Amino acid sequence: MIRRVVRPLAVSALLVLSMLVQQGVWAQQPPAAVRSPEVASDRRVTFRLAAPKAADVQLTCECFTGAKPLQKDDKGVWSLTVGPLEPDIYEYEFSVDGLTAIDPRNPAVKYNSRPSPASSLLDVPGASPMFYDVRAVPHGAVHVVWYPSKTVSTTRRMHVYTPPGYERGSSRLPVLYLLHGADGDDSSWSWFGRAPQILDNLIADRKMLPMVVVMPFGYAHPPTGGVPAYRQRMDFEKDLLQDIIPYVQANYRVRADRDSRALVGLSMGGGQALNIGLRRLETFSRVAAFSGAVPRDAAASFKDVKIPAGSLKLLWLGCGTEDSLLAPNREFSSFLKSTGVTHTFKETSGAHTWIVWRRYLQDVAPQLFPQT
């Protein structure tokens, strides 16, 4: 079974809800009929909010562009119906008289590791299970692991996925180190990226070999602590190489050679994967970046990096066409071409969202350690 940690709502989100109730924007006891979001069989979705004293309520959602106004009925309940929507998982927020807030009727919330606004989550199901849905297949486990970090002299947390049947096996497996983006933490890929479900389904469909997936916390120091960016980068790399990898090799049944080790990340984590992976070819043989935060001047940033032909079994870049990082990713791909580095660069529709990154994981995971 997949083991998970129950996370409370972000403290900032709770404070916002408390303020709204105190100010009377939301009724203390909204009508029992209020349900939000409500997904109909035709994939039309109705959002509702009980806010009788509000003058203006709007909705922003990854399922459409811009903001849409809600209409208020005689009971003070605001509502809006959109769609039909394509099956997927979308983030959305209400704006109540200019104050952004989550949906108080929806317990599914995307939290952050930094003081960024929380979002509510909308899951629109398809006619059959999506690639990230739980299916009736063997399931792996997600372990919440605390490990000693000599780098920062403290105990740190990471999430580790082991594939179905791991406990009964004896052979050593390849290992993927999977990094989150800014505002995320080591639980992000499990909760919002649906990595365990995606990997379980790929393994069940015989599209991917079983592997161990290590999801560390990408900030070596608290992200709000004022630590300079260069120190964050250096200490995270040191923690990964000198603390995390040795711990994983000592405590999990993984292969210890570079040919069995991959480094993949999204956004900030994509930048980390490229900066660390391309400079540590003795450690990693597969590197991928999803909407990676790549350097603006790749030629200057990687002038000291030499990538011999054949040293990387996979170098993969992907970015959405509506993503603000598309241009620098294109430029980075052009730089790699100019230096003769074999790689894949994939442009897809989509913005800087989990909608894109979940699909990239489904695409890339089978390519990391292909079946022979």
Count the alpha carbons within 13 Å of 252 in the hemisphere toward its beta carbon. Answer: 28
Where does the pLDDT of residue 168 fall: very low under 50, low under 70, confident under 90, or very high at 90 and above? very high
| Mean pLDDT confidence for 324-333 | 95
| Mean pLDDT confidence for 11-35 | 52
Q: Report the candidate in 141, 99, 134, 118 with the shortest Cα–Cα distance to residue 7.
A: 118
Q: What is the pLDDT of residues 180-218, one digit of tens each?
A: 999 999 999 999 999 999 999 999 999 999 999 999 999
Position 15 pLDDT exceeds 90: no
- Is-contact 145 181, C-beta < 8 A? no
Q: Average pLDDT of the chain?
A: 91
Position 304 pLDDT exceeds 90: no
Where does the pLDDT of residue 61 fall: very low under 50, low under 70, confident under 90, or very high at 90 and above? very high
Query: What per-residue confidence (pLDDT) applies to 32?
Result: 56
Q: Which of 5-9, 131-135, 241-245 has the lowest mean pLDDT?
A: 5-9
- Is-contact 262 316, C-beta < 8 A? no
Query: C-alpha distances in angstroms, 9 versus 12, 13, 220, 299?
Result: 8, 7, 23, 43
Query: What per-residue confidence (pLDDT) applies to 29?
Result: 53
Q: What is the pLDDT of residues 102-135, one digit of tens each?
A: 999 999 999 998 888 899 999 999 999 999 999 9
| Mean pLDDT confidence for 299-310 | 85
Does the global pTM surpass 0.95?
A: no
- Is-contact 290 263, C-beta < 8 A? no
123 vs 7, residue with greater confidence: 123
Q: In the chain, which residue ranges form alpha helices assigned H by DSSP?
A: 11-22, 188-191, 195-204, 229-239, 245-251, 268-277, 298-301, 326-338, 354-368
| Mean pLDDT confidence for 67-96 | 97
215 vs 371, residue with greater confidence: 215
Position 19 pLDDT exceeds 50: no
Query: C-alpha distances in angstroms, 245 versus 214, 254, 261, 277, 357?
Result: 9, 10, 10, 13, 24
Q: Report the candidate in 19, 120, 34, 86 with the shortest Cα–Cα distance to residue 359.
A: 86
